Structure 1
Amino acid sequence: MEEIKEDCGVALIRLLKPLEYYQEKYGTWMYPLNKLYLMMEKQHNRGQEGAGMACVKLNTQPGNEYMFRERAEGSNAITEIFDNVHKDYANIASDDVSNVEFAKANLPFAGELYMGHLRYSTTGKSGITYVHPFLRRNNWRAKNLCFCGNFNMTNVDEIFDKLTLQGQCPRVYSDTYIMLELMGHRLDREVERNFEIAKTKGLTNTDITKFIEDNVKMSNVLKKTMTDFDGGYVVCGVTGSGEMFSMRDPWGIRPAFYYKNDEIVVLASERPVLQTTFDLDSADIKELAPGAALLVKRDGECTVEQILQPKGDSACSFERIYFSRGSDCDIYNERKKLGEQLTEPILKAVNYDTAHTVFSYIPNTAEVAYYGMLNGFKRYLNDEKIKKIESLGHAPTHEELEDILNDYVRSEKIAWKDIKLRTFITEGNSRNDLASHVYDITYDSITPNEDNLVIIDDSIVRGTTLKKSILRILDRLHPKKMVVVSSAPQIRYPDYYGIDMPRLEEFCVFRATIALLKDRGMDNVIRDTYNECKDELKKPKENMVNVVRNIYKPFTIEEINNKIVEILRPEGVTTPIEIVYQSIEGLHKAIPNHKGDWYFTGHFPTPGGTKLCNQAFVNYVESVEK
């Protein structure tokens, strides 16, 4: 499938014991630094445009740095930022580097709080200034804030207006900067609240500072910061005084998992990351609940507090289908189930001719769904074998049994992902020609003009790779029929919560539907939907409904599928092609605990998503009419 990007991956580590403990038990005080590296590498799938990390030292003396940050751009950013840290140690005697007391006093990134981030941009904004974590400095340790997150907010404009009305002047118009400034402002107020309490207690000078640092409540900061945000998010942060937090959106759209024992508190965007890095069972790890925050105080006290009341059960299903690591035990089984459930529609597509059908998958993310599809067909063939044996009416001979049992599911490695198109090639025709060679095939793997070829993908979004590469190259095998299977339902609507699918016209399902409307002289549906979208946009967003759904109502899924084949069929390819999509019912049966399905149904979990979808249709129509 086409590469889709998501914003982003997070990792947190909080040591609960002195560095000497880890030196003695694990042989190095760099234990948390090494673990952070592993956590970030294990989430490399979530961000390859940039990476950053931060560290806080506790109990430093004035005049010494206590907050450190490294950031880099590019697919090798993780390696670069950790290399940069170790370069700082290169000119120091090895005995000093391995000495805990020396490290605590003199070395950067020798601390107790660690935070890492991997970035994919879904906003089109790039450059080192947009790489997390973001840092807000102050001479008061408790007012220093380092912040990162996996999020996309739908109402940045509203928050920006709110800040400017208060008299603030944010330097950059982006959800991350605005959230940093808003949260920093609330952190300042929390520190000042404790300052006033300390004065009433008669405290002075450094005693006031200690009181503030011991009594800052990040839950207060989060409650006053996050209330107005609309979007999917997991936000994480550390303060200069040693507070650590991570909060999940109240709709539960973006994921977060954590683990705590007497040595560490750790959090990541995916469960297998913690399992592998810290050698844990899945039962050891907890999922952060919607609207809740994991809070670790300066003294190491760890709590989970409900910051906002849950607003819905909308955990993202597309996380499970595509983004998250398939090594998660639940995700692995869900993806297999998605493939297995497609047995019957695939059988119809090949006219139940399993003897002349070869099954394969588009590498690499569809592999698990492929195993599920094979399981479904194995069960089907076993049932057919039983029926044949039972219908004989007599004890079968050896030859009869051999003939029946020789029916099997024919599976082959048909497609190979061969190259990655290099970005330095910019000329259009050259790029298109090279894109057609991203995949290669196993030649002579099917019987030409006799075998059907069924090939499964995890999802079909834009259809670009199908048209420019996959269908054309599979046609070289000369199958009797090609059946392209999507383990996900038809993707009809944009995402506004952190996945890079923002525009309607990018989706092959949308383009096919518009083409059907025009083919059948139903342009009025487009015009009516456009006017209805404009009417909805005049309402408060809480009262809006997604009227873009109306354009799909005149057609069956099969009609849209046939049109998709028509618009994606490469020139010169005459082999019969059929597309089979997962059903919405099948999606929820396979992934029952992640009900966020707005990509497929248009039921956005937040008012901001509905508003932006209506605006997207208006933008589409107006761009076409220019």
Structure 2
Amino acid sequence: MCGVFGLVCHEPVNQLLYDGLQMLQHRGQDAAGIVTASGQSFHMHKGSGMVRDVFRTRNMRELIGDAGIAHVRYPTAGNSKSAAEAQPFYVNSPFGIVLAHNGNLTNTDELFENVCYRDLRHINTRSDSEVLLNVFAHELETRIDGETLTVEHIFDAVTELHKMVRGAYGVVALIAGYGMVAFRDPYGIRPLILAKQQDEQGRTDYAVSSESVAFNGLGYEVWRDIEPGEAVFISFDGEFHSRQCSDQAVLKPCLFEYVYFARPDSKIDGVSVYQARVDMGVSLAEKVKRELPWEEIDVVMPIPDTSRPSAMELAHHLGITYREGFIKNRYIGRTFIMPGQAVRKKSVRQKLSPVASEFKGKNVLLVDDSIVRGTTSREIVEMARDAGAKKVYFASAAPEVRYPNVYGIDMPTREELIANGRSVEEIAAEISADGVVFQDLDELIVAVSKLNPKIQGFDTSCFNGKYLTGDVDEAYLEKLASGKVSAELIQKVNPTLVDHSVRVDDNQDDDE
């Protein structure tokens, strides 16, 4: 999962891009990058780490220009911790182009072969985003007449890209000397939102972001979502153009965005993320009534922070006291290499601290956004018991996660998912809970879609194994599990490529 941000303004954008990235930090903490444009030149700085760690005053001073794009990265494809895979990526042919991508491609191997063998372009990393950039650059190159590039050339290139590329992608890119282009996959799996503002001279400035929250505090007003399959182009002079570039476009965004990844103060595809999570709490409360001895529950507690709106509404709907039983330490960094169970337990207990008086002698219902691998959930249940809880029940605002997500969410392999091959009762036993309740998928879909009836469906693949792009089969998932997707082919084409990959445990906020 990543975050992208782009601006075309009539003022320097370096500080605005930095501030926007800070608001998107939740979408990726492994790397960050900014590229600005002035005249025919790009100015780039990127590196591993959080936004606050990557950029210093000296870096910001060098990022001159009135337009730019930015990216925060959480690795999904490439499996690398190398700074070389920090985005945006750059190519110099046929024009200087920089590109930032949120999502994940599912036919990267096929595209890689085309780019390297047929198009004779060089790929330097294992990132599908670099492959995507070279596909776009090649399609532009085949369409230009001499040195002239038109808006129609750009839109035609995106149209052809949609025909070739499968997967999820929300993209912002700069073309040197021309402007900024942004486009979204034909299903709209990953979000991409437009905003604008008028400056003091009455000129219009434009912004593009993965989430509307990035516009908060910058003075930009949300305009609309970029439609699935649509491309927009904004020249450096501020001229706005748009075109639908796919005849197969249908709005089916990722359902997990609303459950977990997006910030609650964002609005995506016309849906308030906060309201969606509140409504999830209502349907989850009804499920609790049907499946747990809810009358004996003394208190409802969220696992901070994402589940808080659902937990509060669930407690209100059931008429049960809501309390904050766990306090999150916001200053603990991510724990990357987890060599043993003892270290994993220590990591969870460093991040969450129980308020013992809220647990002692009580039957507790814990509410979390999801249960993925189950290691964190098991430790949290144990912490509640150690703090004095008599019984510990667990409710998940998401359905059982039974399948990998291949569209940009870095989840464990199917064998590592706690719901894989287990009943709800077996899952409860695995995490040592007295009972577990999962949100019904149909109810979750209703909770989100009723906030925008124009949504025609959702990507629900991690819950039911139905992959929108139609190219993910058992063989693909097996290769994904073995860690060989893309890596074998890239090593064959470029055997000198250094493997910077690091195996990490997902015992982080999205590990539950």
Root-mean-square deviation (CA, aligned residues, Å) is 2.5
Q: 1: distance between equivalents of 2:216 and 2:323?
A: 32
**CA spacing shift, 1:67–1:423, aligned 2, 3 Å:** same
> Could you tell me which of 79, 90, 110 is aligned with 1:135?
90
8 Å CA contact 1:338–1:590 kept in 2: the answer is: yes
Q: 1: distance between equivalents of 2:338 and 2:261?
A: 28
Q: 2: distance between equivalents of 1:246 and 1:342?
A: 37
Match of 1:437 in 2: 349
Tell me if 1:11 matches 2:27.
no
The SS at the match of 1:277 is: coil
Shift of 1:589: 1.4
Q: 2: distance between equivalents of 1:118 and 1:425?
A: 21
> Could you tell me which of 17, 22, 27 is aligned with 1:46?
27
Tell me if 1:323 matches 2:275.
no
Tell me if 1:228 matches 2:183.
no
Match of 2:123 in 1: 171
Tell me if 1:109 matches 2:63.
yes
8 Å CA contact 1:186–1:225 kept in 2: the answer is: yes
Match of 1:452 in 2: 363
The SS at the match of 1:359 is: strand
Match of 1:185 in 2: 138
Match of 2:439 in 1: 582
The SS at the match of 1:509 is: coil
8 Å CA contact 1:213–1:241 kept in 2: the answer is: no
8 Å CA contact 2:310–2:397 kept in 1: the answer is: yes
Matches within 5 A, 1:236-315: 236-261=172-197, 262-278=203-219, 280=221, 284-315=222-253
**Which of the pair is proportionally richer in strand?**
2
Tell me if 1:597 matches 2:460.
yes
**CA spacing shift, 1:190–1:417, aligned 2, 3 Å:** same
What TM-score, normalized to structure 2?
0.84
Tell me if 1:374 matches 2:348.
no
Shift of 1:125: 1.5
Shift of 1:476: 1.9
**CA spacing shift, 1:444–1:112, aligned 2, 3 Å:** closer
> Could you tell me which of 84, 87, 90 is aligned with 2:58?
84
The SS at the match of 2:115 is: helix
Tell me if 1:158 matches 2:21.
no
Unaligned runs of at least 5 residues, structure 1: 1-5, 20-29, 61-65, 89-107, 196-208, 379-408, 514-559, 570-575, 621-626
Deviations 1:503-543 (A, max 9, x none): 10121000x43xxxxxxxxxxxxxxxxxxxxxxxxxxxxxx
Match of 1:410 in 2: 321
Q: What amino acid sits opposite 1:270 in the alignment?
A: E
> Could you tell me which of 383, 400, 403 is aligned with 1:473?
383
**CA spacing shift, 1:298–1:129, aligned 2, 3 Å:** same
**CA spacing shift, 1:308–1:611, aligned 2, 3 Å:** farther
Q: What amino acid sits opposite 1:442 in the alignment?
A: V
Matches within 5 A, 1:23-62: 30=12, 32-58=13-39
Match of 1:540 in 2: none
Q: 1: distance between equivalents of 2:29 and 2:374?
A: 23
> Could you tell me which of 33, 38, 46 is aligned with 1:71?
46
8 Å CA contact 1:48–1:120 kept in 2: the answer is: yes
Tell me if 1:120 matches 2:74.
yes
Deviations 1:313-350 (A, max 9, x none): 32001001101010136111100111121223323455
Shift of 1:562: 0.6
8 Å CA contact 1:148–1:236 kept in 2: the answer is: yes
The SS at the match of 1:369 is: helix
Q: What amino acid sits opposite 2:92 in the alignment?
A: R
8 Å CA contact 2:99–2:173 kept in 1: the answer is: yes
**CA spacing shift, 1:430–1:615, aligned 2, 3 Å:** closer
Q: What amino acid sits opposite 1:245 in the alignment?
A: V
Deviations 1:390-446 (A, max 9, x none): xxxxxxxxxxxxxxxxxxx32222122347376487653551341352322111324
Match of 1:541 in 2: none
**CA spacing shift, 1:433–1:579, aligned 2, 3 Å:** closer
The SS at the match of 2:164 is: coil
Shift of 1:371: 1.6
Q: What amino acid sits opposite 2:157 in the alignment?
A: V
8 Å CA contact 2:227–2:251 kept in 1: the answer is: no
**CA spacing shift, 1:167–1:617, aligned 2, 3 Å:** closer
The SS at the match of 2:384 is: helix
8 Å CA contact 1:214–1:298 kept in 2: the answer is: no
The SS at the match of 1:482 is: strand
Match of 2:470 in 1: 607
Q: What amino acid sits opposite 1:83 in the alignment?
A: T
Match of 1:94 in 2: none
The SS at the match of 1:111 is: coil
Q: Percent identity?
A: 23
The SS at the match of 2:314 is: helix
Tell me if 1:483 matches 2:365.
no
Q: 2: distance between equivalents of 1:423 and 1:447?
A: 30
The SS at the match of 2:429 is: helix
| Max Rg structure | 1
Q: 1: distance between equivalents of 2:333 and 2:72?
A: 22
Unaligned runs of at least 5 residues, structure 2: 198-202, 450-454, 484-512
Q: 2: distance between equivalents of 1:146 and 1:35?
A: 18
Shift of 1:78: 4.5
**CA spacing shift, 1:14–1:298, aligned 2, 3 Å:** closer
**CA spacing shift, 1:145–1:611, aligned 2, 3 Å:** farther
**CA spacing shift, 1:253–1:413, aligned 2, 3 Å:** same
8 Å CA contact 1:39–1:274 kept in 2: the answer is: yes
Deviates more, 1:424-433 or 1:493-502: 424-433
Q: 2: distance between equivalents of 1:307 and 1:271?
A: 23
Q: What amino acid sits opposite 2:44 in the alignment?
A: R
Matches within 5 A, 1:352-391: 352-353=294-295, 357-378=298-319
Deviations 1:177-199 (A, max 9, x none): 222222222233333x2x2xxxx
The SS at the match of 2:310 is: helix
Paired positions, count? 464
Matches within 5 A, 1:521-540: none
Q: What amino acid sits opposite 2:434 in the alignment?
A: I
**CA spacing shift, 1:425–1:585, aligned 2, 3 Å:** closer
8 Å CA contact 2:195–2:220 kept in 1: the answer is: no
Q: 1: distance between equivalents of 2:90 and 2:477?
A: 35
